[in-house]
Amino acid sequence: MRINRLILYTAQLEEQTSFYKDILGFKLMEKTEDHSSFKIGTSILSFYFRETSTPYHFAFNIPSNQIKEALAWLKQRVEILTDDMKEIQQFNDWNAEAIYFYDKDNNIVEFIARKNLKIESNNPFRPESLLCISEIGLPVNNMERTFHHINQVKPLPIYSGDFEVFCAAGDENGLFIILNKEKRRWFPTDDIPHSSYFRVEGDYNIEFTNGKINRI
């Protein structure tokens, strides 16, 4: 599954724009009074202004062999979110490693190296090393219904999990992280998950609003 564009909302557009442009060094594609967009590998990340907003969780794929290089690069720019004092999180079932940090909205942002993709790089890690947006979180009350609604747009396989607590749907290029918000919080911070409004464009063109999926 490919996420070509992810549209999120922020109550502090200037601060978010500065964070991604000046701190992380992402390529600013467009900036207007109400939104900014960044080129990230094959994807576009857009932030639109809204007077009120709640945090998200999303992830970027990075080269399969560069988790340590990504950590060293990030530690010069942000504070790493840890679990049990560990900065790199191991996901053996997914054959992947990940790093987490906050942006200016306290969105939980993840860099994940998926070894099964076998996309490697010998270049120094930099913003251009990021491959794509590969995850967006969907905290809901009814996981099975949410999965069913996504499948009405287009069939989508379950990558990991079930409909009880956690379900990753899609593939290693792109995943909807469907979460039972009454039974689980976000890893690794234990933050409360919010059903924050977003739009996705790509293989699936949908919006997530009030905890529900709508086709766009």
* pLDDT tens by residue, 148-183: 999 999 999 999 999 999 999 999 999 999 999 999
Sequence spans of domains, the chain: 52-215
Res 18: pLDDT: 98
Exposure pattern of 112-150 as b/e (b: 16+ CB <10 Å)? bbbeebebebeeebebebbbbbbbbbbbbeebeebbebb
Amino acid at 95: N
3-state SS, residue 198: strand
Asked whether the beta carbons of 120 and 63 are under 8 A apart, the reply is yes
Name the band, by pLDDT with cuts 50, 70 and 90, for residue 105: very high
* pLDDT tens by residue, 3-48: 999 999 999 999 999 999 999 999 999 999 999 999 999 999 999 9
* pLDDT tens by residue, 68-98: 999 999 999 999 999 999 999 999 999 999 9
* pLDDT tens by residue, 178-216: 999 999 999 999 999 999 999 999 999 999 998 999 999
* pLDDT tens by residue, 108-121: 999 999 999 999 99
Question: Which CATH architecture group holds 52-215?
Answer: Roll (3.10)
End-to-end CA gap in the chain: 17
